[in-house]
Structure formats: C-alpha cells, structure tokens
Amino acid sequence: MLLPTMAQDLRVIIVGASGGIGSALTQALADSAQVSQIYALSRNPQPYPDPKIHPIPFDFTQSESLSDAAQHLKTTGKFDLIIIATGLLQGEGIAPEKNIRAMSHHSFAQSFMCNTIGPAMCAQAFLPLLRRDKKAVFTALSARVGSISDNRIGGWYAYRAAKAALNMVIKNLAIEYGRRFPETIIAGLHPGTVDTALSKPFQGNVPEGKLFTPEFSAKKLLDVIDGLRLRDNGSLKAWDGQTIPF
C-alpha cells in the first residue's frame, strides 16, 4: 500500500512527468498495485512499457494544450491525485541572480511562466477533474526559498518571487475549494535539494546527506501526500513532513 489514506484504484495526473522528480514519481506510483492509471503529461512524452501509464503531449504555456488535455482527461473519469512536478531555476537564457544588477525582464518572465502561471493554469484546467466523495489531493512543487519569512540570504530574485507567488496561488485555491469541496486538499511540496539538472550547478554547496536522489525524494513526497489532512489545506510541506511558513 503506497497511499493508505487514499482510495484504492488511484487515478493520477502528473504534469512534468519527464523531469527528474516527475519521472521518479511516475515510476513509484506505477510500481504500486494501489494505482490503476497514471496520465503522464510532458512536452516530449516517451512511450512507457507499463500499460497503466498514459503519456500525453502537453505544454502549459499554451491555452489550446491546456484545454485539449482537460477535455481528454475528463472523458476518462475522475481523479484522486494531481501533481504539478515542474520548475525552472536556470536555462533558457536565465540564471539565479546574485544581486540586483543581474535582474532582467526575461528572467522574471520565464520564471513566472514556469513556476507560477503554468501551475495556476493547470489548477484551473484540472481541479474540476478531482473526485468529491473522499480525499483528493492537488499538489505543486514549490521551494523553501519561496518562503518570505524564511529568506535569510537574499538573491535568486526571479525564482524566489515566482515560488512565493505560487504559494499564494496555492493558498487562494485552498480557500476557494475548501468552501465548496471539503474533501479536497491543495498544498505545495518542497522536495529538498534533488540530484537533477535543476540543481547541478549548486550541488557543491549542499551539506553532506542533503542531496537526494529523485527516487528518495519521490518516496518522501508521496509519504507527505499520504499524511496530508484537511488542516494542511493551503500549506507548504517539506519532504520530511514539516510545514514551511510562507
């Protein structure tokens, strides 16, 4: 049993399923007999040997892609779990800013599109697909550096701001859905520092024992999802289950 607080025959949507954490989450869920169907959304989906995994081409920066995916998924039935496993820290002409001189329109636009706007539009498209009769969860990967109250060293302007904005989106969604669908839990997840392309340039500063494999992080995040209760609606949870203040 992978998620004992949730239903049998779990149906799952994973956005960003081809990324480091997304692919590990997809595989961990596929390995569970509790999970019946996984819809793996990504820009460049690859075929999976496991018939329970259904790859779908998807780009959350495109309205048509969002609506097409939502319409297709709606025909398959209700879902128990939605995970937005996307994130952008560097690449596409941007890098974490060390000081104010490094800020640019481009870096803010790209970071907000991937880290805030995309997940928000996924919520708009996919939240109506969640079941209403028992525990259902919508989560998005956020980050501890998006916590305003926990910011001690500054820097990383665009990424911090975009993740802080994502946390606000999550809080807003939780308030709105909490009024109408009390079995729905919406929360952000901080996966820790994971050995993926996103963290490669910064791994030298990670304390010993704090650089996680994608498989370890995926297992911990699924444990956190299983542990989510109604009181956690609208919160940001770390990989170890601790609540991170906004």
Question: What residues does each domain of the chain span?
Answer: 10-238
Q: How much is the pTM?
A: 0.94
Query: Is 10-238 a CATH 3.40.50.720 domain?
Result: yes
- Digit-by-digit pLDDT tens for the chain (246 residues) are 689 999 999 999 999 999 999 999 999 999 999 999 999 999 999 899 999 999 999 999 999 999 999 999 999 999 999 999 999 998 878 999 999 999 999 999 999 999 999 999 999 999 999 999 999 999 999 999 999 999 999 999 999 999 999 999 999 999 999 999 999 999 999 999 888 766 556 655 666 667 889 999 999 999 999 999 999 999 999 999 999 999
By C-alpha distance, which of 41, 43, 32, 45 is closest to 6?
A: 32
Q: Which own/partner contact pairs does 23-29 have at CB distance under 8 Å and 24+ positions apart?
A: 23/214, 24/213, 24/214, 24/215, 24/217, 24/218, 25/83, 25/85, 25/218, 25/221, 25/222, 26/53, 27/215, 27/218, 28/2, 28/215, 28/218, 28/219, 28/222, 29/2, 29/222
At residue 55, the pLDDT reads: 98
| Structure-token pair, residue 225 | 């999802």
| Structure-token pair, residue 158 | 């665009």
At residue 231, the pLDDT reads: 96
b/e string for 22-46 if b means 16 or more Cβ within 10 A? bbbbbbbbbebeebebbbbbbeebe
At residue 180, the pLDDT reads: 94
- Please name the residues in contact with 51: beta carbons below 8 A apart, sequence gap of 6 or more: none
